[in-house]
Amino acid sequence: MENKYIKLIIDYLEGHSNKDEINEFYEWVNKSDSNKEFFFDIKMLYDANKSPKNLDNIDESWERLFKKKTGKKPYYFNFWYKWASYAAIVLFAVMFSTVFFLTILKDGEGKGLNTRYIGGDGLEADIVELPDGTRVSLGSTTTFHYAKDFGEKKRIVYLEGEAFFDVAKQKNKPFIVKTREQDIEALGTKFNVMAYSMDSLVITTLLEGSVRLTSAHLSEKITLHPNEQFTYNRNTKVSSLQKVDARQFVSWTSGYYYFPGQSLEVILDRLSHVYGVKFTVLSEDLYKKTFTGTFYRGQSIKDIMEIVNLSIPIKYVIDDRHVTILEI
């Protein structure tokens, strides 16, 4: 039976599934937590080895993983079966909850405004439903509130952290997200904003509709279209616009954090917010090394360091909320 779902997963990851198979996949993966974990185990190995430059390292990565889990040298067999075997022997991560630091200002309650809070389970995001019906999924350690006059002429909200917006359509009342550097205006759209105060990067990713960005650092307004991502570097004052698969960048709302060929520095910045830990890397060269993969929020920080070690050999020491990383 597992072989059936492995094929279902691989077809989905490769983009070969038809509509019925996609529906079957979603129905299966959402049926239980163990199905989600099984999917993640297969996807993690798929992501780590799918790029051409990694194909020669598949056996090496597999051997390190097998030795870590069993202490034995693996047999060499068909790679598809390796995925199945890995999924069977991997230790499922301990599920635990995350505490979201949420600030919602209720200045507008006297005017009849009403906000509905929908608590997450520590894996999937907490959601705030605004008076206009807009739904906001909140990332870890995120501060969010809306203006006192929300909905009168404009719908203005303020963000420090990360949030995914599913904006209700009101053509005559623009929806504007204000961060420290940018105003992001939307009309009936879905988009993600990551703007933590301590991070060097501010990233806006559009899933549906369109958004217009305004900033003192931009000579003109920037309009994003679906599957476009705008990145601004606070340190260098440099911005960039690129095409992405936006779904991968909003998967965090359901507990999955995708990193497409990103530097270890960017990955650790993100994980520091998700897990509330501090990372110290004792190598500038190590900071620049890239990693492609997906982490599941249910995994411990130790599990994640072991996954990184499959692609980037490292040593690490975990001391309470502090992780020190160095080259082997």
Least confident of 1-5, 78-82, 146-150: 78-82
Instruction: Among 36, 62, 89, identify where a domain stops.
Output: 89
| One domain, residues 130 and 223 | yes
Residues 229 and 291 occupy one common structural domain: no
Instruction: Extract the tokens encoding 291.
Output: 């990693």
Same domain, 123 and 239: yes
Q: How many separate domains does the chain show?
A: 3
**Window from 87-101, 102-116, 198-212, 263-277 with minimum mean pLDDT:** 87-101
For residue 29, the model assigns a pLDDT of: 72
For residue 26, being part of any structural domain is answered with yes
The domain of 39 spans: 2-89
Tokens standing for residue 7: 């094929």
Structure tokens at 85: 């075997």
Beta strands (DSSP E) in 188-304 are 190-195, 201-208, 211-215, 222-224, 228-233, 239-243, 256-263, 278-281, 290-296
Question: Parallel, antiparallel, or unpaired: how do β-strands 175-178 and 155-166 relate?
Answer: parallel
Residue keyed to tokens 């692609």: 311
Residue 136's pLDDT is 95
Show which of 55, 89, 123 is a domain's final residue.
89
DSSP 177: E
Residue 104 tokens, joined? 């919602």
Same domain, yes or no, for 78 and 24? yes
pLDDT at 47: 59
CATH number at 318 reads: 3.55.50.30
Q: Within a domain: residue 19?
A: yes
Dump pLDDT digits (tens) for 107-129: 444 455 677 778 776 788 889 99
Q: Which residues are 18's β-sheet partners?
A: none
